[in-house]
A and B are shown apart, each in its own frame.
Chain A
Amino acid sequence: MAESSHYPSYDVWAEHREWDEHTRKIVAKRRSPDVAHRFLTPKEAVTLQTAASLLVDDIRLDVLTYITQHVDETLASPVGEDQRKVGVPEKQTLYRQGLRGLDETSEAEHRALFAALPKEQQLDVLTRIETGQVKPSGAWAQVPAKEFFKKMLHDVVSAYYSHPLIWSEIGYGGPAYPRGYIRVEKGLVDPWEAKQDGK
């Protein structure tokens, strides 16, 4: 497994003039996210952002701010959630209680709010929630810990891998219309694609 980018000098955004206008607008917005939230309270936003930072293993503020904004937008939106398991509350309740649960478990296990804990203890709290090893009281009496973790992981990861900075890092070619790809076969790359350094 790689420890760092194979493509340190690649910047997918440098190609944005080649993208169709609709896509360009969508991606541009991610580069300058809103910090005002519609659903999350400031405290919830901090808790979520702290958890997100650990879930994606990244501390860059601009990316994390975008993730939080994306989740907030999802929660404030009236659009449905595709599917919801019987017994799992609606997304708003799941997040509200789940974020409260993060703090409750932190206080129960390590005597401080989640955001205030050192990283090791934060990881411990997240692992407890991931595996359902939490006290079934307070928030966790109302929402299933594992389901909350899974939903948060899914949402956070989806946002993270939508950010052009991350696209550059993993060498993803990004938007490709109207240009498309000419050289798709093994070992071939179009001139604008990411190249491993020195190759």
Chain B
Amino acid sequence: MENNDRVTHHSDHYEGHRSKQLDRRKYADGADVCIVGAGAAGGVLAYELAKAGLAVVVIEAGPFWNPQTDFASDELSTRRLAWQDTRLVDGAHPLKLGYNNSGRGVGGGTVHFTGVFLRFHESDFMTKSMDGVGEDWPIRYEDLEPYYDKIEREIAVSGPDHFPWGPFNGPYPYPVREPISANAQLFREACEKLGIDSVVAPLAILSAPFDGRPPCINRGFCNQGCMPNAKYSGLIHHIPKAIGLGAEVLSDCMVTQVLTDGDRVTGVLFVHDGQTYEQKARVVILAGFVVETPRLLLHSATPHFPDGLANSSGWVGRAIMPHSSHDVYGILQEEVRLYKGTPVLALTQHFYETDRERGFARGYTLSAHGARPVGMASAIAAERADGTMLWGSALRQAMLDYNFYARVTLVGEVLPHPDNRVTLAEEKDEYGMPRAKVTFSYQENDLKLIDHAVVQMKRIIEAMGGRPAHVVSDTAHLMGGCRMGNDPRTSVVDQFGRSHDIPNLYIVGASTFVTSGGANPTNTVMALAARTADHLIDAMRQRDV
């Protein structure tokens, strides 16, 4: 791996490359900032804060991956890139976690994400005032706009010259991807027939060389970790750069508690190889994603904070949201070969904004979406939208036509509901921490949106000349659980991610989302993180933390 040198002295074990001795940590006596979680948000913060000269330690539960020896062009063996620790799931629509939405290891979810890189629209930040649903964010699109610009430039997002929806209409920093896969071509042709605008997807995937990395070779395994390093991940971009600027990254280190003294946090406890260590810091930033951040806050309760840290509102863990993500597989006369090319190369946001005629609020994005055999077969077998299962000769025969399928996937807005939440279960994990219990049920608006989208996806398949054959019920991404807001009684953090209750405790990442939007979230995750970084650098200079 290219960045080995930079990490040699700064991180714990990575066979042959790093010091195994955590006692010789760089900031063993205390850091300015300790970031828990080296994912999308944690990576951006580590980089920005280290660049500003702060002493930064990032503590990451999972490994420091080496793309060449840890990733593979294979579905089954790369499920381990995900957070596989058991979580209990409950509710009317129990979530599929693990590989489906949770990363674990340096880079977090970006290591196996699909790389679709979209901005939220203006309306996403004010669903309550515009549509009377959800909740308004404490910020507006304009507050994030400069950070979207910055992040997109910084990682050379490729995309179309003209993007027809929302406030940002292009052009993107890097040229649009070319050529696109057969599935994406068919999708775009079908959309055109139906009078639906579509574009080649904006992607955090290179269309030309950048920063020593090559363009995409269309191998199609983005969800298994990109081996040529054409796809952005925190692992190959922000984290190595942060290390180069002096940050220390401790991988394979699970944070089990946030430490407090009176009204402030003082650092964290983490476990490495069965041993517990303490990391002190002036500021602690939790960037552990939607399930683990609330779990850690709830588990860190003290007599002073009996309901968990930063939880005087009772909102820690509440209002988590996935995106609804049904798939329609359609069978065509000609070969499509869903395995080829970057999985998502075309999409439409034609149905993004609220249209009252449809009978529900908010909207969605539809994407042309590739599929590999394990993902497709296990989904059409055991995740069918009608609740039936497909097996035996029916499954075998369906899969013999694998190359003749096209697929369209939904990314649908799910409205926040306080009962969709992360709590602590009785059962303990290997660290003695209570397992997370994740409860989720779609509400009426969510289900109406899904029904509408499935009809449109079927129309698109039909316009391709195909026949809708399998509808799969799925979700993607997770957001919320520590939402931001102006009112400390109904939110956990302020607009910069600073917790209302504890001035030197910050929360960043997908967990601070107020609503889910109807678009893939990571551009917004990273833009928010960059905004927090600016704020924090200022605040720390002014000794305001």
Task: Kindly state the separation between the CA atoms of A55 and B392 in the bound complex, as whole angstroms.
Answer: 4
Is B137 at the interface (CB under 8 A from chain A)? no
Q: When the two chains form their complex, are residues B74 and A26 in contact, meaning their CB atoms are under 8 A apart?
A: yes
Contact for B98 among A82, A166, A186, CB less than 8 A: A82
Task: Kindly state the separation between the CA atoms of A157 and B336 in the bound complex, as whole angstroms.
Answer: 22
Task: Kindly state the separation between the CA atoms of A130 and B391 in the bound complex, as whole angstroms.
Answer: 10
Q: When the two chains form their complex, are residues A58 and B396 in contact, meaning their CB atoms are under 8 A apart?
A: yes
Residue of A nearest to B185 (CB): A186
Is A173 at the interface (CB under 8 A from chain B)? yes
Residue of A nearest to B89 (CB): A83
Q: When the two chains form their complex, are residues B68 and A181 in contact, meaning their CB atoms are under 8 A apart?
A: no
B residues near A113, Cβ cutoff 8 Å: none
Q: When the two chains form their complex, are residues A6 and B73 in contact, meaning their CB atoms are under 8 A apart?
A: no
Q: When the two chains form their complex, are residues A172 and B382 in contact, meaning their CB atoms are under 8 A apart?
A: no
Residue of B nearest to A195 (CB): B335
Once A184-B340, A186-B186 are accepted as A-B contacts, the answer to whether A79 and B72 lie under 8 Å apart by CB is no
Is A2 at the interface (CB under 8 A from chain B)? yes
Once A83-B97, A172-B402 are accepted as A-B contacts, the answer to whether A153 and B84 lie under 8 Å apart by CB is no
Once A185-B179, A185-B180 are accepted as A-B contacts, the answer to whether A23 and B74 lie under 8 Å apart by CB is yes
Q: When the two chains form their complex, are residues A23 and B98 in contact, meaning their CB atoms are under 8 A apart?
A: no
Q: When the two chains form their complex, are residues B72 and A80 in contact, meaning their CB atoms are under 8 A apart?
A: no
A residues near B396, Cβ cutoff 8 Å: 56-58
B residues near A158, Cβ cutoff 8 Å: 75-76, 374, 377-378
Among A57, A70, A83, chain B packs the most CB atoms within 10 A around the CB of A83
Is B301 at the interface (CB under 8 A from chain A)? no
Q: When the two chains form their complex, are residues B218 and A153 in contact, meaning their CB atoms are under 8 A apart?
A: no
Once A80-B85, A86-B89 are accepted as A-B contacts, the answer to whether A184 and B72 lie under 8 Å apart by CB is no
Q: When the two chains form their complex, are residues A55 and B89 in contact, meaning their CB atoms are under 8 A apart?
A: no
Task: Kindly state the separation between the CA atoms of A58 and B392 in the bound complex, as whole angstroms.
Answer: 8
Q: When the two chains form their complex, are residues B82 and A82 in contact, meaning their CB atoms are under 8 A apart?
A: yes
Q: When the two chains form their complex, are residues B73 and A20 in contact, meaning their CB atoms are under 8 A apart?
A: yes
Once A1-B398, A6-B403 are accepted as A-B contacts, the answer to whether A153 and B391 lie under 8 Å apart by CB is yes
Is B337 at the interface (CB under 8 A from chain A)? yes
Q: When the two chains form their complex, are residues A173 and B88 in contact, meaning their CB atoms are under 8 A apart?
A: no
Contact for A150 among B87, B219, B339, B389, CB less than 8 A: B389
Once A23-B72, A167-B373 are accepted as A-B contacts, the answer to whether A178 and B228 lie under 8 Å apart by CB is yes
Is A169 at the interface (CB under 8 A from chain B)? yes
Task: Kindly state the separation between the CA atoms of A187 and B332 in the bound complex, as whole angstroms.
Answer: 13
A residues near B398, Cβ cutoff 8 Å: 1
Contact for B373 among A20, A27, A57, A161, CB less than 8 A: A161
Is B315 at the interface (CB under 8 A from chain A)? no
Is B418 at the interface (CB under 8 A from chain A)? no
Q: When the two chains form their complex, are residues B221 and A177 in contact, meaning their CB atoms are under 8 A apart?
A: yes
Q: When the two chains form their complex, are residues A1 and B401 in contact, meaning their CB atoms are under 8 A apart?
A: yes
Is A123 at the interface (CB under 8 A from chain B)? yes
Is B95 at the interface (CB under 8 A from chain A)? yes
Once A80-B86, A85-B94, A86-B437 are accepted as A-B contacts, the answer to whether A184 and B74 lie under 8 Å apart by CB is no
Task: Kindly state the separation between the CA atoms of A157 and B88 in the bound complex, as whole angstroms.
Answer: 23
B residues near A177, Cβ cutoff 8 Å: 73, 217, 219, 221, 227-228
A residues near B378, Cβ cutoff 8 Å: 154, 157-158, 161
- Number of contacting residues on A, CB 8 A? 66
CB contact list, A162-181 vs B, under 8 A: 162, 166-167, 169-181
A residues near B139, Cβ cutoff 8 Å: none
A residues near B86, Cβ cutoff 8 Å: 80-84, 90
Once A84-B86, A169-B400, A173-B337 are accepted as A-B contacts, the answer to whether A57 and B227 lie under 8 Å apart by CB is no
Among A79, A84, A189, chain B packs the most CB atoms within 10 A around the CB of A84
Contact for A20 among B83, B85, B227, CB less than 8 A: B227
Contact for A185 among B71, B182, B219, CB less than 8 A: B182
Is A194 at the interface (CB under 8 A from chain B)? yes
Task: Kindly state the separation between the CA atoms of A54 and B464 in the bound complex, as whole angstroms.
Answer: 34
Task: Kindly state the separation between the CA atoms of A2 and B228 in the bound complex, as whole angstroms.
Answer: 36
A residues near B227, Cβ cutoff 8 Å: 20, 177-178
Is A19 at the interface (CB under 8 A from chain B)? yes
Is B160 at the interface (CB under 8 A from chain A)? no
**Digit string of B179-191 for contact with A (CB within 8 Å is 1, else 0)?**
1111001100000
Residue of A nearest to B66 (CB): A22
Is A149 at the interface (CB under 8 A from chain B)? yes
B residues near A182, Cβ cutoff 8 Å: 218
Is B463 at the interface (CB under 8 A from chain A)? no
Is B21 at the interface (CB under 8 A from chain A)? no
Is A117 at the interface (CB under 8 A from chain B)? no
Contact for B84 among A81, A86, A176, CB less than 8 A: A81
Task: Kindly state the separation between the CA atoms of A1 and B390 in the bound complex, as whole angstroms.
Answer: 14
Among B179, B218, B221, B382, chain A packs the most CB atoms within 10 A around the CB of B382
Once A56-B395, A157-B377, A157-B382 are accepted as A-B contacts, the answer to whether A187 and B182 lie under 8 Å apart by CB is yes
Q: When the two chains form their complex, are residues B73 and A162 in contact, meaning their CB atoms are under 8 A apart?
A: no
Is A160 at the interface (CB under 8 A from chain B)? yes
Among A57, A86, A154, A161, chain B packs the most CB atoms within 10 A around the CB of A161
Among A79, A157, A167, A185, chain B packs the most CB atoms within 10 A around the CB of A157
Is A137 at the interface (CB under 8 A from chain B)? no
Is B399 at the interface (CB under 8 A from chain A)? yes
Q: How far is the CB of B211 from chain A (nearest CB, A)?
A: 20
Q: How far is the CB of B335 from chain A (nearest CB, A)?
A: 8
Once A22-B69, A82-B82 are accepted as A-B contacts, the answer to whether A149 and B389 lie under 8 Å apart by CB is yes
Q: When the two chains form their complex, are residues A57 and B392 in contact, meaning their CB atoms are under 8 A apart?
A: yes
A residues near B337, Cβ cutoff 8 Å: 171, 173, 189, 193
**Which 3 residue pairs across A and B have the least CB separation, nearest first?**
A82-B98, A180-B217, A175-B73
Beyond known contacts A158-B374, A166-B373, A180-B219: 7 more, CB 8 A cutoff: A157-B378, A160-B377, A161-B374, A171-B403, A176-B217, A177-B221, A184-B180
A-B contact pairs, 30 of them (CB 8 A): A2-B400, A4-B400, A19-B73, A22-B68, A54-B392, A55-B392, A56-B392, A78-B430, A80-B98, A82-B100, A83-B88, A83-B95, A84-B86, A84-B88, A85-B88, A149-B389, A157-B374, A160-B377, A169-B400, A172-B373, A172-B402, A181-B218, A181-B219, A181-B220, A181-B340, A181-B341, A185-B179, A186-B186, A186-B334, A196-B335
B: residues with CB less than 8 A from A are 68-77, 80, 82-90, 94-100, 179-182, 185-186, 216-221, 227-228, 334-337, 339-341, 372-374, 376-378, 381-382, 389, 391-403, 430, 437-438
A: residues with CB less than 8 A from B are 1-6, 19-20, 22-23, 26-27, 54-58, 70, 78-86, 90, 123, 126, 130, 149-150, 153-154, 157-162, 166-167, 169-182, 184-189, 193-194, 196
